[in-house]
Chains A and B, each alone.
Chain A
Amino acid sequence: MATLQSLDIRRRSASTEVPPQIRQSAVEVAKLIDVSKCIGCKACQAACLEWNDLKQPIGYTDGTYNNPTDLTPASWTVMRFTEYEHGDDLEWLIRKDGCMHCDDPGCLKACPAPGAIVQYTNGIVDFVQENCIGCGYCVKGCPFNIPRISKVDRKAYKCSLCSDRVSVGQAPACAKACPTQAIYFGSKDDMIVHAEHRIADLKSRGFKNAGLYNPPGVGGTHVMYVLHYADKPSLYAGLPDDPHISPIVGLWKGALKPISLAVIAFAGVFGFLHYVTKGPNEVSESDDKKADEIAGGRRP
């Protein structure tokens, strides 16, 4: 598919061109996933497969409710079930995993293929598969371990936040399908306000550490969670406590690029200047004569 909303692109991978800025009215969107309201029915997973016309091959069970057991090129969202024991209590923490649509997307930063990853002005980070070369750099850039490379076509896939639906004013398929309205969709500002109501309600019911997961290390995200235990996000199947783009990726995709090309260019210029100032290193006639004396009459 071609890039949707070409007037609404904020960032484009591996591109130095200035993005179009004629539209001023972009509203940042967000999906708010209220983990405390999730019943783990997987309607969101089914809706995702249906809307995006994907088919997850029948796999295997690992003895848990996680099915499939991980994100795949076709399964862009999966419910992750965690049995959390504290004291005499057993709680089932069910987190809908998928792309967080970071405001500072590590995948886009790492991607070497122009236009294979774009970020729209509404905050959605989208993979444009026709430009993807299958290098897997997005996997290394992502702080949440989200992109998956297909073994069949070597292209990267992940949740698009239903950018096609959002572009025509619809909510993502998962939000539409959720029977308990654990998934909200709207402007990011509205979602934060809504989360505050939910958090106040949770706190009044004893979850004193309830809070919003909108991690600042990646500039905030356009998929946010309401967590009962916001002080310990990693309880929820390893949700990163403080996600940020790896400093190794930062070096690789930051300073190293211009410095490397500058050093290579300097080496070339140094060689050129050396040649034009010193001239070629030539064998003199006296060297030839002395060589002949050593070699004598021999012709090796």
Chain B
Amino acid sequence: MSEGKIVSRYTTGARINHWITAASLILLALSGLALFHPSLFFLTNLFGGGQATRAIHPWIGVVLLLSFTGLFIRFFSLNLWKPEDTVWMKNLGKVINDQEEGMPELGKYNAGQKLVFWGQSILILLLFCSGLVLWDVYFEDYTTIDQKRLAAVIHALCAIGAILIWIVHVYAVIWVRGTLRAMTRGSVTRGWGFKHHRKWFRQEVGKP
């Protein structure tokens, strides 16, 4: 594959935006899990101890919200649901067996990627709102204890959901070869574009 035969997929700005989001999400998962299960409390050592973990976690959450908002604005219109996405979902069994012949041509994102996008959008919003209720340093006096209890459970459930989506997201990159370079170098090979996102590929190469 010659270096010339590539298709641009992400701008430098989008890549930096993505990796800030990725780093904050991973740090949030580590610090959050540390306070979620006693057997993972040792993870607080990564953040300078229990008190420091408790203090830092919500601030990383603020970074995530701002950063993810950037991604949302960049990509939400490309993630609107299309009729071919429903077909793709119905053939999910074929997709995970790498038998994509006869599937509709896809734009920049397939249905799985769109579900990751919308799932994280909703969960991060819920996590941020419930997180504010739990951020006692600044917001202790604004909610009742019953509301704080509910927020704690919602926060935990949404966090588990976000971690599961993150696992799907990361595994898809590991499984589908040639994907990672989209976020590290900003481009993919022509063959990758043809195989996975043909409609998008046609548009990109058709550009003057």
Contacts and interface: CB of A to CB of B under 8 A. Distances in A.
Interface string B149-182: 1101100110010011001100100111110000
A268 B97 CA distance: 18
Say whether chain A's binding surface is mostly helix, strand, loop, or mixed: helix
Contacts of B134: 136
Interface residues of B, number: 57
Contacts of B174: 271, 275, 280
B160 A260 contact: yes
A38 B118 CA distance: 60
B50 A137 contact: no
Contact of A133 (B54, B171, B176, B204): B54
A283 B191 contact: yes
B41 A140 contact: no
A294 B189 CA distance: 13
A252 B41 contact: no
A86 interface: no
B4 interface: yes
A288 B36 contact: no
B164 A263 contact: yes
A295 to B, nearest CB: 4
Interface residues of A, number: 50
Contacts of A261: 37
A248 interface: yes
B179 to A, nearest CB: 9
A252 B149 contact: yes
A246 B163 CA distance: 26
Nearest to B35: A112
Contacts of B77: none
A170 interface: no
A257 B36 contact: yes
Interface in A260-300: 260-261, 263-264, 267-268, 271, 274-275, 278, 280-284, 287-288, 290-292, 294-296, 298-300
A22 interface: no
Contact of B190 (A137, A140, A288): A288
Interface in B17-63: 35-39, 41, 44, 49-51, 53-55
Nearest to B37: A257
B205 A298 contact: yes
A137 B50 CA distance: 13
B136 A287 contact: no
A133 B7 contact: no
18 contacts: A135-B136, A140-B148, A246-B149, A248-B153, A252-B149, A252-B153, A256-B157, A261-B37, A267-B164, A275-B171, A281-B177, A288-B1, A291-B193, A292-B5, A295-B205, A299-B4, A299-B5, A300-B8
